[in-house]
Amino acid sequence: MPEGPSVRKFQLLASRFVGQVVAKVGGSTRKINVNDLNALRLQDSQVHGKNLFLAFVAAGRALGPSTEEPVSQGEAASGTSSPAQVCAPQTHPKEEELQELQCSRPDAPGAAGGPGSWLRFHFGLFGSVRANEFSRANQVNKRGDWKDPVPRLVLHFESGGFLVFYNCRMQWCSSPVADPASDILSAEFHRGQALDALRAPNPVCYTLLDQRYFSGLGNIIKNEILYLAKIHPLTRGSLLAPSDLEHLLDCAIQFSSDWLQSKLRGEGLHLQIYHKEQCPLGHAVMKGTFGPSSGYKRLTWWCPRCQPAVLSGVGEPTPVTE
């Protein structure tokens, strides 16, 4: 599922259409009645972690001030220059369910009759947003044909442009569920709160995927920053020196920011460890499936030479492949 940098790119694509009225709708989703969006005005767009939020109001209403984080003109221009890229799966289904319970509401925007009707998008594997273009098949599917992906939602605007949403879940919200202090790409990201979480006596690869403290950080970012910081995935945070935790957090912020900037420039991401057989120094990479006993397990890649294990009483990680 797309991680924070990808969803930020999606938001920039959608922001082009803020202020425009929906003229026609389509799509395969059954989670909402797509006809409820007809003749509504797209009022605002926000991104929080791995979730995209779009606000709709009746077309006759005046647009209120936007509450989203400021985006530079250069970023906005770059953000609409190329199709969005695909990222890796998300990690905390229980956290998603909590957000859905907080966000879900049965009312369509017309029933509310006023501002504050937000549509929340959470993207699945290969989920994406495209502006003024449809996704085309680039390989044969399991049935042996070249069938194009089916969009979940298509919004055609009076201006003639359109937005297409693929492989995503949608729910109406009264307001976005957000904590900017936990968003790894937010200017309000709280370093102290994140460091406190990392100091816990849990494997750091578990903590990094906890969306309560690292919203938007997913499996790709987790693997890459642990390699950059030279920390074994199963090292307990309580065993790491404060300087190591600071460095790990710096890597998380810098890598996420660099990934976003590469997306805005239409460039691919150069990975060093994720899905690799060798690290950049030529050492053999190991792969394991790690996660809390009561949570979701995620594939993890690490170099045993560059990221040596720290004795912590939990033993060595069990490799799936080598």
The confidence score (pLDDT) of residue 57 equals 93
Q: How would residue 64 be classed by pLDDT, with cut points 50, 70 and 90?
A: low
Residues 289-297: contacts with CB within 8 Å, 24+ apart? 289/320, 290/203, 290/205, 290/206, 290/233, 290/234, 290/317, 291/91, 291/206, 292/202, 292/206, 295/92, 295/94, 295/206, 296/91, 296/92, 296/93
SS (H, E, C) 243-289: HHHHHHHHHHHHHHHHHHHHHHCCCCCCCCCCCCCECCCCCECEEEE
Question: Does residue 70 have a pLDDT over 90?
Answer: no
Q: How would residue 193 be classed by pLDDT, with cut points 50, 70 and 90?
A: very high
Catalytic residue among 2, 109, 203, 317: 2
Residue 3 annotated to the active site: yes
Question: Does residue 299 have a pLDDT over 60?
Answer: yes
Question: Does residue 296 have a pLDDT over 90?
Answer: no
Q: How far apart are the C-alpha atoms of 189 and 195, rounded to whole Å?
A: 11
Residue 216 or 317, more confident? 216
| Percentage of the chain exceeding pLDDT 70 | 77
What are 308's two structure tokens? 């040596």
Q: How would residue 141 be classed by pLDDT, with cut points 50, 70 and 90?
A: low
Residue with tokens 């779009």: 54
Which distant-in-sequence residues (6+ apart) come within 8 Å of 250 by Cβ?
none
Point out which residues pair with 239 in neighbouring strands: none
Query: Could you tell me if residue 305 is left (phi over 0), alpha (psi between -120 and 50 degrees) or otherwise beta?
Result: alpha
| Mean pLDDT, residues 89-115 | 43
Question: Does residue 184 have a pLDDT over 70?
Answer: yes
User: What Å distances lie between residue 226 and 17, 252, 314, CA to CA?
Assistant: 38, 9, 18
Nearest to residue 300, comparing CAs of 284, 314, 321? 321
User: What Å distances lie between residue 77 and 43, 73, 266, 267, CA to CA?
Assistant: 19, 6, 12, 15
Of 76-80, 226-230, 236-240, where does mean pLDDT reach its minimum? 76-80
pLDDT tens profile 147-165: 888 999 999 999 999 999 9
Question: Does residue 4 have a pLDDT over 90?
Answer: yes
Of 61-70, 76-85, 105-114, where does mean pLDDT reach its minimum? 76-85
| Mean pLDDT, residues 302-306 | 98
Residue 176 or 39, more confident? 39
Backbone angles phi, psi at 89, to 5 degrees: -65, 155
Residue 188 annotated to the active site: no
Residue 204 or 94, more confident? 204
Q: How would residue 127 be classed by pLDDT, with cut points 50, 70 and 90?
A: very high
The confidence score (pLDDT) of residue 122 equals 95
| Mean pLDDT, residues 65-74 | 40
The confidence score (pLDDT) of residue 310 equals 86
Residue 152 annotated to the active site: no
What pTM, to 2 d.p., does this model score?
Answer: 0.79
Catalytic residue among 41, 50, 152, 222: 50
Catalytic residue among 130, 222, 263, 298: 298
Residue 11 or 320, more confident? 11
Average pLDDT, the chain: 82
Residue 2 annotated to the active site: yes
| Mean pLDDT, residues 63-73 | 42
